Structure 1
Amino acid sequence: MGKIEYIRDFYQWEKEFEFFYPVQVRFSETDMFGHLNNTVPFVYFESARIEYFHQLGFMQDWVLPDSETIPVVADLQCDYLKQVFFAEKLKVYVKAEKVGKTSVDIHYLVKNEKEEPCIVGRGTVVQMSKKTGKGVLWTEKNKELFLNRTHIEV
């Protein structure tokens, strides 16, 4: 595997993941060769990220009509390590790598049933005000939730 800029030590990085979201590759997500279309991991990342935020307790507030804040994806990156094929069962792991004042750097690791890494990624999510469009500071409690690596899964 080549060097991936946002991962210093792959094996240490990999050990820090606890939360995962299971998916199975659907036929509609593959190309004519039967392997996963290159756009689909971004959908998997989103599904896993939303469930991760839900498990942490963020989504319940963000989806309320009178909530002032919403999560906005500022950037998203994906690196493909191994081909993925129709009907494979995958685990999409998610973790908060770094928490800023209003943003969080989320990392992703997708493994197949053999526990082999297939896809990795990262992205920045900013908590923004619906009214002003500007970033909203995380509370200390929010930061603790992101950085507490307690085991949570669906």
Structure 2
Amino acid sequence: MGKATYIQPDLETWMKSFHFETDIKIRYCETDMSGHVNNVSYLVYFEQGRVDYFDRLHIGDEVLHDKADFMVVTADITCHYHAELFFRETPTLLVRVARLGNSSMDIEYCLIVKDKNKVAATGSGTIVLVDKQTKRSAPIPPQVRERIIQFEKMEMTI
């Protein structure tokens, strides 16, 4: 299993760098015959967390709306499984933008079960804004960039 190199300098410090969290509801259909949450469901939770994050920053309609001039494309995503999740557990997903590029951003995730003090999974991925007409990367709109920088308390030179 590869190491989660995005967790820096250590898990506890890294987890404190998140400013956003959203509750996840595990559906029965997301479990396997052993009662575990199926591995693919974690990526669905990450996607839901991205949407909730964008909505919290009031940029969901700007970057996710079907009428927008661009679309959000997942360039890559990684999930590291740390502990099992089961139906009826109540996980919380931490989400943060760790890096802002011109047309892309790296997003990190930490799926925890607070009442059991359990880290179930961590992840990292890159999304890219793509112009719907040209199918090429598109710059992140200035107002979207600014909201993320302010929310994440990033020090950026633009």
What's the TM-score bracket when you normalise by the shorter of the two chains? 0.7 to 0.9
Q: Compare 60-69 and 49-58 and name the one that shifted more.
A: 60-69
CA separation of 1:27 and 1:64: change in aligned 2, threshold 3 A: closer
Deviation at 1:108, TM superposition (A): 0.3
- Structure 1 unaligned spans of 5+: none
Q: 1:129 & 1:83 partners in 2: Cα distance?
A: 39
Equivalent positions of 1:91-106 (< 5 A) are: 91-106=92-107
Pick 1 or 2: higher relative contact order, CA cutoff 8 A, min separation 6.
1
Q: 2:54 & 2:68 partners in 1: Cα distance?
A: 15
Q: 1:87 & 1:64 partners in 2: Cα distance?
A: 32
Q: Residue 7 of structure 1 corresponds to which residue in structure 2?
A: 7
Deviation at 1:65, TM superposition (A): 4.7
Deviation at 1:145, TM superposition (A): 1.7
Deviation at 1:100, TM superposition (A): 0.6
More helix by percentage: 2
The TM-score with structure 1 as length reference comes to 0.88
SS at match of 2:23: strand
CA separation of 1:65 and 1:83: change in aligned 2, threshold 3 A: closer
Residue of structure 2 aligned with 1:146, choices 137, 145, 148: 148
Contact 2:64 2:72 in 1 (8 A): no
| RMSD between superposed Cα atoms in Å | 1.8
| Percentage of matched positions with identical amino acids | 32
CA separation of 1:64 and 1:81: change in aligned 2, threshold 3 A: closer
One-letter code aligned to 2:74: V
One-letter code aligned to 1:111: I
Q: Residue 33 of structure 2 corresponds to which residue in structure 1?
A: 32
CA separation of 1:65 and 1:90: change in aligned 2, threshold 3 A: closer
- Structure 2 unaligned spans of 5+: 153-158
